Amino acid sequence: MKVKVSTEATQELIEAAAWYELEVHGLGDQLIDTFEQATTRLSEPNPTLVPVVGVAAKLGAKRLILQRFPFSVVTIANSQTITVVAFAHHSRRPGYWRGRIAT
């Protein structure tokens, strides 16, 4: 399946990677690598995704939890494409991305 990353999710990844890079040299690149591995997994048949809760779950939103970093890749899928709508930190601004999912 084709994976598309939204502009907002890309920006969130860039900002998070920049922060990690300031904390520890090379850690920002590791975050980007982890994200790229996650998007590769999304394109494979039957990726392991966790349903989100609430209204977004009813609209089909799911998330792929990253290993090592406290982030999830939030997705919405149709028959041909999985779209990454957010690169969301686990404890900051819960659900801020819900408005990005069409109702």
pLDDT digits (tens, 9 = 90+) for 8-49: 999 999 999 999 999 999 999 999 999 999 999 998 887 777
In terms of pLDDT, which residue wins out, 97 or 32?
32
State the pTM of this model.
0.88
**Ordered domains of the chain (ranges, CATH):** 2-96 (3.30.2310.20)
Q: What is the dihedral of CA 76, 31, 71, 52, to 10 degrees?
A: 20
How far apart, in whole angstroms, are the C-alpha atoms of residue 58 and residue 92?
22
pLDDT 10s digits, 49-77: 777 767 777 888 899 999 899 999 999 98
Query: Could you count the other beta carbons within 10 Å of the beta carbon of residue 3?
Result: 19
